[in-house]
């Protein structure tokens, strides 16, 4: 796209964003239900009412030196994805839910296009972007502690360095600089959890629990009992106490636990691949 075309596109986007009405919770709920029933007009109205959100977040990411119009394009893709997935019955406004998807699309674009930090190979990079956080959480639920880069790399079939670099990129704080075109200072994100983060965490927990439950079906009765007693009860039971209840030695319980963990890792890897 030529520079003049980009400028015209941005100006058109700004005009559309300013003209789009802000929705009340009741109106948003009405439009969301109509969109879910197949109304393209309602779906478009939801998108237009959140163009300001895309522009605001695009300015947050513009400090990386990437073209603003391309960031906006990525953000629009995230907005569309959010609107398609949005469930108004959860009691969360679309703006909170959409912000997570918009940032996710812009972050992915930024990671693969900025030159400050070298990213993993394209194939491994896409796999890590899609599965890194989910895999880390699932492994943490299995073992009770945060997994190291070696374990994550083994589960996902990528290099340890790939995991470390993607972790650094995803954990990096987006530090904006300067002001937006309207002269407002761009604020740094707060330290507390954001509404979209809360929604995303809830979805991740649901996905993690679903994966864990599926993996548990691959275990024998003894293995399942050990994993439940070790990780799925209010109080973590020791290997020795579980062994006494099963008539097994502590060492045998440890072996069965490791065996069960290996089976679950394999099942979860297959599920997220």
Structure confidence by residue, pLDDT tens digits, 15-37: 777 777 788 888 988 999 998 88
For the chain, give every residue range classified as CATH 1.20.120.1810. 10-116
SS (H, E, C) the chain: CCHHHHHHHHHHHHHHHHHCCCCCHHHHHHHHHHHHCCCHHHHHHHHHCCHHHHHHHHHHHHHHCCCHHHHHHHHHHHHHHHHHHCCHHHCCCHHHHHHHHHHHHHHHHHHHHCCCCCCCCHHHHHHHHHHHHHHHHHHHHHHCCCCCHHHHHHHHCCCHHHHHHHHHHHHCCCCCCCECCCCCECCCCCCCCCHHHHHHHHHHHHHHHHHHHHHHCCCCHHHHHHHHHHHCCCCCCCHHHHHHHHCCCHHHHHHHHHHHHHHHHHHHHHHHC
For the chain, give every residue range classified as CATH 1.10.10.10. 206-272
pLDDT in the model for residue 175? 38
Structure confidence by residue, pLDDT tens digits, 80-99: 988 888 887 887 888 888 88
14: pLDDT strictly greater than 60? yes
C-alpha 89/C-alpha 86 separation (Å) is 9
If you average pLDDT over every residue of the chain, what do you get? 75
The CATH class that applies to domain 10-116 reads: mainly alpha
Is the pTM here over 0.95, yes or no?
Answer: no
Q: How confident is the model at residue 114 (pLDDT cuts 50, 70, 90)?
A: low
Q: How confident is the model at residue 256 (pLDDT cuts 50, 70, 90)?
A: very high
C-alpha 16/C-alpha 51 separation (Å) is 8
Q: How many whole angstroms from its chain centre is CA 27?
A: 28
Residue % of the chain over a pLDDT of 70: 68
CA atoms 113, 175, 165, 212: torsion sign: negative
Structure confidence by residue, pLDDT tens digits, 34-72: 988 888 999 988 998 998 889 888 888 876 677 888 888
248: pLDDT strictly greater than 50? yes
180: pLDDT strictly greater than 60? no
CA atoms 27, 33, 34, 38: torsion sign: positive
Which CATH architecture is the domain 206-272 placed in?
A: Orthogonal Bundle (1.10)
195: pLDDT strictly greater than 70? no
116: pLDDT strictly greater than 50? no
pLDDT in the model for residue 130? 66
């Amino acid at each position: 796209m030529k520079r003049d075309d980009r400028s015209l596109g941005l100006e058109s986007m700004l005009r559309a964003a300013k003209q789009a009405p802000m929705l009340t919770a009741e109106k948003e709920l009405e439009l969301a239900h109509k969109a879910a029933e197949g109304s393209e007009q309602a779906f478009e109205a939801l998108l237009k009412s959140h163009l300001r959100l895309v522009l605001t977040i695009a300015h947050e990411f513009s400090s990386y030196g990437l073209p603003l119009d391309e960031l906006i394009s990525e953000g629009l893709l995230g907005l569309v994805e959010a609107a398609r997935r949005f469930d108004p019955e959860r009691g969360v406004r679309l703006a909170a839910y959409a912000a997570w998807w918009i940032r996710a699309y812009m972050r992915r674009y930024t990671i693969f296009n900025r030159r400050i930090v070298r990213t993993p190979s394209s194939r491994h990079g896409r796999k890590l972007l899609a599965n890194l956080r989910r895999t880390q959480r699932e492994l943490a639920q299995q073992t009770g502690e945060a997994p190291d880069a070696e374990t994550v790399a083994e589960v996902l079939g990528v290099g340890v360095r790939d995991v470390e670099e993607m972790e650094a990129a995803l954990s990096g704080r987006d530090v904006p600089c300067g002001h937006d075109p309207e002269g407002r200072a761009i604020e740094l994100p707060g330290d507390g959890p954001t509404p979209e983060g809360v929604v995303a965490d809830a979805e991740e927990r649901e996905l993690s629990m679903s994966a864990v439950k599926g993996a548990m079906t691959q275990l024998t009765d003894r293995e399942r009992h050990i994993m439940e007693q070790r990780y799925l009860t209010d109080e973590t039971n020791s290997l020795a106490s579980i062994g006494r209840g099963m008539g097994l030695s502590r060492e045998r319980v440890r072996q069965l636990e490791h065996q069960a963990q290996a089976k679950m890792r394999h099942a979860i890897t297959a599920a997220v691949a």
